[in-house]
Amino acid sequence: MTAALRRLIRYCVIAFLAGTALAAASEPLTIRSGYTVMVSGYSPLVLEKKEVLAHFGSSYVLEPRHFQSTSLELTALAAGEADIISIGYSTLAVAVLNAHLNDIRVVADANQDGAHGHRSVPFLVRNDGGIAKIEDLKGKVVATNGAGGAFDVALRWMLYQHHLEDRKDYTAIESDYGNMGAMLLERKAALIIGANPWALNPTLQANAHTLFTASDALGPSQMTVMASRIGFIAQHRAALVDFFEDMMAMARWLRNPANHAEAVEIAARLTKQPVANLEDYLFTEKDPYLDPALKPDLGSLERNIGVMRSLGFIKGEFAVKDYADLSLVEEAAKRFR
């Protein structure tokens, strides 16, 4: 092989590698987004109105991935199988103190209970169940969605403040939200969590009432946040700012009263529910609050994690601000305005 031929081959290889690197750099970032509920987080619902998303397909594309729980989302984030996930304050505490995922960062708001005049999740009792005050739950069975979960903590904290302790003064049994109404109506539980849309069941509404709400227990609360990891943020900052700018636009579109009918129709189709089940509350003040600039309430996160510590769910302390990076949504909000 002549020297000239070797040089030609070398130049061709260099040109090929340069072209490959350039093509890779120009491809949009794929953001694998974990979610548990179709109408919250960055779920397939976001992809139903791509015309609202100015940067979709150019700097990023979204790949939603469904998980049964936020704990499974956390496992996926730790394993590198998801890039952004929705987690409750309780899962954040577990991530830092138990899983030692020290590079996790809170990056955006996802769900605030009872904030700015929006609905707080109620805890329901039967009208004829003989429960007039919280102390009446002594010796009773209460239904929860899982020990240590965000609403489970609210339930236990309210009862604890009224001198009722689990396994000593009441029994907590776990159930999914969809079955809780039947458990209350069939007297298998004296108290349930009234999560929508199941709490809107006409039979349940006719036979039950609110004993207290999550905000009665915890105050207006940062229930769910979006989280990512330091390395992913650092490597893809520009694309993520574009992404959050689009998520702000999508949040505004969904909550615009002029778009309510279309937004509910999309959600009903994706969740396979009748429009009537959703139209009265979804994307309204009867729904949890979402900050328009996607900025979470870090003070609320800190307080709620302190409640978990008081209840014995976690040991140790950490400053929430040390595990937050709000620079992405702050930069996106400046551009969005």
- For the stretch 146-196, pLDDT in tens is 888 889 999 999 999 999 999 999 999 999 898 999 999 999 999 999 998
Asked whether residue 6 is assigned to any structural domain, the reply reads: no
For residue 223, pLDDT beyond 60: yes
CB 303 within 8 A of CB 209: no
pTM given for the model: 0.85
Asked whether residue 17 is assigned to any structural domain, the reply reads: no
pLDDT digit string, tens, across residues 275-310: 998 999 999 999 999 999 999 999 999 999 999 999
Distance CA 142, CA 128 (A): 16
pLDDT digit string, tens, across residues 98-110: 889 999 999 999 9
Tokens coding 271: 């969740």
Are residue 100 and residue 145 in the same domain, yes or no?
A: no
Q: Which residue has the tokens 């979470």?
A: 296
Asked whether residue 96 is assigned to any structural domain, the reply reads: yes
DSSP secondary structure string for all residues of 250-313: HHHHHT-GGGHHHHHHHHHHHHT--GGGTTTTTTSTTSPB--TT----HHHHHHHHHHHHHHTS
Tokens coding 212: 């207290």
List of residues 6+ apart from 57 with CB closer than 8 A? 28, 50
For residue 19, pLDDT beyond 60: no
In total, how many domains does the chain have? 2
Which CATH number characterizes residue 134's domain?
Answer: 3.40.190.10
CB count within 10 Å of CB 220 equals: 18
Are residue 147 and residue 214 in the same domain, yes or no?
A: yes
The pLDDT value recorded for residue 69 is 80
For residue 20, pLDDT beyond 50: no
For residue 23, pLDDT beyond 50: no
For residue 15, pLDDT beyond 50: no
For residue 70, pLDDT beyond 80: yes
Looking at 156, 185, 218, the residue that finishes a domain is 218
CB count within 10 Å of CB 102 equals: 12
Are residue 107 and residue 229 in the same domain, yes or no?
A: yes
Tokens coding 30: 């794929």
Are residue 135 and residue 104 in the same domain, yes or no?
A: no
Banded model confidence at residue 25, pLDDT cuts 50, 70, 90: low
Looking at 218, 234, 250, the residue that finishes a domain is 218
The pLDDT value recorded for residue 17 is 46
DSSP conformational letter for 172: E
Asked whether residue 276 is assigned to any structural domain, the reply reads: yes
Asked whether residue 7 is assigned to any structural domain, the reply reads: no
Asked whether residue 22 is assigned to any structural domain, the reply reads: no
Are residue 332 and residue 228 in the same domain, yes or no?
A: yes
The pLDDT value recorded for residue 187 is 97
Are residue 104 and residue 126 in the same domain, yes or no?
A: no
Closest CA to 171 of 184, 189, 145, 150: 189
Are residue 209 and residue 153 in the same domain, yes or no?
A: yes
Distance CA 43, CA 50 (A): 13
Looking at 174, 199, 218, the residue that finishes a domain is 218
CB hemisphere CA count around 145 (13 angstroms): 20
Top pLDDT among 150 and 265 is at: 265
- Mean pLDDT of all residues in 117-145: 96
Asked whether residue 53 is assigned to any structural domain, the reply reads: yes
For residue 197, say if its preceding peptide bond is cis, omega within 30 degrees of 0.
Answer: yes
For residue 12, pLDDT beyond 90: no
Banded model confidence at residue 203, pLDDT cuts 50, 70, 90: very high
Are residue 161 and residue 281 in the same domain, yes or no?
A: no
Are residue 152 and residue 297 in the same domain, yes or no?
A: no
Tokens coding 96: 């830092």
- Mean pLDDT of all residues in 121-139: 97
- The mean-pLDDT minimum among 3-12, 117-126, 137-146, 221-230 falls in 3-12
Average pLDDT, the chain: 91
Distance CA 179, CA 174 (A): 10
List of residues 6+ apart from 75 with CB closer than 8 A? none
Top pLDDT among 115 and 3 is at: 115
Tokens coding 273: 């529910």
The pLDDT value recorded for residue 249 is 97
107: containing domain: 27-113+224-336
Give the whole-number percent of the chain exceeding pLDDT 90. 81
Q: Alpha carbon of 205 to those of 67, 111, 153, 191, 269: distances in Å?
A: 30, 24, 24, 14, 25
Are residue 79 and residue 228 in the same domain, yes or no?
A: yes
Are residue 264 and residue 281 in the same domain, yes or no?
A: yes
- Mean pLDDT of all residues in 245-266: 97
Ramachandran area for residue 91 (φ above 0: left; ψ -120 to 50: alpha; else beta): alpha
The pLDDT value recorded for residue 41 is 86
Asked whether residue 196 is assigned to any structural domain, the reply reads: yes
Closest CA to 92 of 202, 267, 227, 182: 227
Banded model confidence at residue 197, pLDDT cuts 50, 70, 90: confident
For residue 79, pLDDT beyond 80: yes
Torsion from C-alpha of 194, 195, 196, 200, nearest 10 degrees: -20
Tokens coding 216: 């009665």
DSSP conformational letter for 323: G
Are residue 99 and residue 127 in the same domain, yes or no?
A: no
The pLDDT value recorded for residue 4 is 54
